[in-house]
Amino acid sequence: MDDLSGLIKLIPVGDIAEKLGVDRGIAEAAVAVAVPAIVGGLAANAKDSGGAKSLEKALGHHQGKAPTSLADVDEEDGKKIVSNVFGAQKDKVAAAAAEKAPAKADGIDIGAIVAQVLPIVAPIVLAYVANQFATKQEAPVATAEPAAAANPLGDLLGGLISSPQGQDLIAGALGGLLGGGRK
């Protein structure tokens, strides 16, 4: 499960729909854009060594803590994650992500739903990335390969967002907003 679709399948969409009082299709649409937005923001932050080190520290706190239900999700932690990843851009990111949502509904502000979904899914995404990163760090390195990559965390996140849905969202609606997150 090294792609966004595998990660999205871990999200309790039905529970999110119920919690937010929206149709499951709306919740699915919001999750479908919120997850790549968070991964893209993490990747943007991991591009420089300071951001990568800060993110690695955060991943250490989330490793092995993958929430198995919505009741296990710490939304306050999710709000902190969203603030750290997007900074002052978080509302703009939610609005831009909503523009790419695969479903629209009359009378529902999908941007507001995405804004509510971001802190719910952020701890799940961070736990997933933490566990993937730990697994990659533990994997034996082939001796025929050159020295370890300069930014293995960036490589992992880049691999996640290289899926077609990640590329569409990141390159399209969010490209200009995810230049470093904390502005």
| pLDDT mean over 75-79 | 94
**Looking at the domain assignment, is residue 180 inside a domain?**
no
Half-sphere exposure of 47 (CA within 13 A, CB side): 13
pLDDT of 133 = 84
In a domain, 179, yes or no: no
**Residue 105: inside a domain:** yes
Q: Considering the entire predicted model, what is its pTM?
A: 0.80
The answer to whether residue 163 sits within a structural domain is yes
Written as six digits, the tokens of 114 are 């995405």
Does residue 113 form part of some domain? yes
60, 106, 155 from 125: Cα distances, Å: 13, 29, 16
Residue pair 11/69 in contact by the 8 Å Cβ criterion? no
Write the CB contacts of 137 (distance below 8 Å, at least 6 apart in sequence): 152
Percentage of the chain lying above the pLDDT 90 cut? 30
**Which residues make Cβ contacts (< 8 Å) with residue 89, sequence separation at least 6?**
177, 178, 181, 183
Higher pLDDT, 52 or 107: 52
In a domain, 67, yes or no: yes
Inside any domain, residue 183: no
- What is the rounded CA–CA span in Å between residue 7 and residue 158? 14
Q: Using CA atoms, how far apart are residues 90 and 160, in angstroms rounded to an integer?
A: 21
List pLDDT tens digits, range 100-131: 877 666 678 888 999 999 999 999 999 998 88
Higher pLDDT, 175 or 132: 132
Band of the pLDDT at 67, cuts 50, 70, 90?
Answer: confident
Task: Name 136's Cβ contacts closer than 8 Å, sequence gap at least 6.
Answer: 152, 156
How many structural domains are present in the chain? 1
At 49, list the tokens.
Answer: 């060594």
**Structural domain boundaries, residue 141:** 4-171
Cα Rg of the chain (Å, integer):
16
Is 61 within a domain?
yes
Q: What pLDDT is attached to residue 144? A: 44
Closest by CA to 4, choosing from 35, 29, 26, is: 35
Say yes or no to pLDDT of 11 above 50. yes
